[in-house]
Structure 1
Amino acid sequence: MVKSLNIIREEEIGGILIQEYEEFKLESPSFLIVGFPDAGLVGGISLNHLIRELNPKEIAGIDIPRLNPPIAIIRKGEYHPPIRIFKKDNILFLVSEIPIPANTVQPLSYAILEYCMRRRVDYVIGLTGIGSTERLNKEKPDVFIAYEGDQAKRMILINEGKVFDEGMLMGPFAIFLKEAKRFNLQSLIILAESFPDLPDPEAASVAVEYLSKILSIKISIDKLLEEAEYIRLRTKEIMKQTAKVMGQMGRSAEAQPGILYT
């Protein structure tokens, strides 16, 4: 973690501000792991757990200057951007503290892809939830994978992933899949069955489990499961905000089957 945000490089991509705090290089194969507040808060809970378990270093932040309403994240009295980037070895971790407003999804997604290309990231991997009416009946939710790229497909086959069979994806990860080839990326989205509008640490745990296979890194999920009830209570308010944003983005499509917002 950085002690202070001493910005050494700053660039604006499509109205999105990316600030780096130190020089770094990524060895190949390199990965960007992404989590946003989403169905069941799977993305946010997963990424926060990864950061706690792997202890990567905070090396950059992303700000949305014209975010409405304006939001500042404060930690120990110090300002932090609402989206943070961490690094450990050849892996970057991107986690958002706030739900992504519908009018910001496209510029933010393209800025992330552009940043991946400039930083020579090979794989972008999203962790997210699928809101499921069947979730209540399952102690351990299922995980499905969507992908773009031959190497991403090979990675799924090696790790015996269940391919997401049919449906439509909405939100940032839809853009990551659609635009992967154009940005010379392999794209892989890990979708865990989750409660649509309740924080779901158990769903996050199965997403992290599958990610650990993909990365060939041991990542314990013990604390995530032990603290599940605490996490549910702590993230209850952000789940309400996230559900509102998801509704705004998908309202016209909510009645159609097979459409997912992540």
Structure 2
Amino acid sequence: MARINVLADDLSFDEPLLVEGLPGVGLVGKIAADHLVETFEMTHYANVHCESIPKVAVYRDDDRGVHTPVRIYGDAERDLLVLQSDVPISPGAATEFADCLSDWFDDVRLTPIYISGLPREKDEEPPELYGIGTGDAASMLDDAGIDAPAEMGLVSGPTGALLSYAVENEMDAVGLVVESDPQFPDPEAARVVVTEGINALSDIDVPTDDLVDRAEEIRDAKQRLAQRLQNAQNDESSQAQPLRMYQ
């Protein structure tokens, strides 16, 4: 049975932003979400229970507690929510996952920020960030000065399903598409998402020095999940990809 089990009833929000951190190309969404949760020491606000989520339990070092693999963290002072996931969602389950979350999203009256990696081989140039949106959220991207995509493309996986749900139901949603390493966790792309995306869209100033200083450590810590995504028989990751005409 699909449900969002709120744990911290004492937290209240006023039309918050929600940053989605599902594993995808370069793990940019997950790295950015984990960084927000750790930096602001956010409160474990809710557990997400959907049929599409693998039935596994998560435990942490120096903690005997057991947790659900997909959770929501909250910071009432910053009017911020973060969707944190320790597991990928399979493509076949993406629609159910979107249905499971979106009704609650609508009840809370939040604006989601969905993050997708656009596979690009690494070079000396910093990753480019593009913004897409549904409903009135497109104007948020204009106000934030975030560029429109340089080419036609699509977003797949659970993030694509969530954006599709927003289009179908005329909900406001922002999509951030960032060039990302297609093979390895990409803290630099996550830094660009935070500095040029999340900071620009909100009144929040998220420091990112730690993402740069600990880039190698972060890559190593996330490598096992990245390998699981690469080895999956079906592509379980959210990603953006170009749709070039006349191929």
User: TM-score, structure 2 length as denominator?
Assistant: 0.86
Matched, 1:129 2:112: no
Counterpart code for 2:148: V
User: Are the aligned partners of 1:86 and 1:92 in contact in 2 as well (CA < 8 Å)?
Assistant: yes
User: Are the aligned partners of 1:198 and 1:239 in contact in 2 as well (CA < 8 Å)?
Assistant: yes
Is the alpha carbon distance of 1:141 and 1:99 closer, same or farther for their aligned partners in structure 2, counting shifts above 3 Å? same
Counterpart code for 1:85: I
User: What are structure 2's unaligned runs of at least 5 residues?
Assistant: none
Is the alpha carbon distance of 1:79 and 1:258 closer, same or farther for their aligned partners in structure 2, counting shifts above 3 Å? same
Percent identical residues: 24
Q: Corresponding residue for 2:89?
A: 100
User: Are the aligned partners of 2:21 and 2:33 in contact in 1 as well (CA < 8 Å)?
Assistant: yes
Q: Corresponding residue for 1:214?
A: 201
**1:202: Cα distance to partner?**
0.3
**1:50: Cα distance to partner?**
0.8
Matched, 1:160 2:154: no
Q: Corresponding residue for 1:81?
A: 68
Paired residues in the alignment total 233
**1:248: Cα distance to partner?**
0.6
**1:181: Cα distance to partner?**
5.0
Q: Corresponding residue for 1:6?
A: none
Determine the C-alpha separation between the residues in 1 that align with 2:186 and 2:142: 27
Determine the C-alpha separation between the residues in 1 that align with 2:96 and 2:169: 15
Counterpart code for 1:160: G
Q: Aligned Cα RMSD in Å?
A: 2.1
Q: Corresponding residue for 1:48?
A: 34
Matched, 1:115 2:104: yes
User: Are the aligned partners of 1:147 and 1:189 in contact in 2 as well (CA < 8 Å)?
Assistant: yes
| 1:24-64 Cα deviation digits (max 9, x unpaired) | 43213x22110111000101101001111122211101134
User: TM-score, structure 1 length as denominator?
Assistant: 0.82
157, 164, 167: which one pairs with 1:171? 157
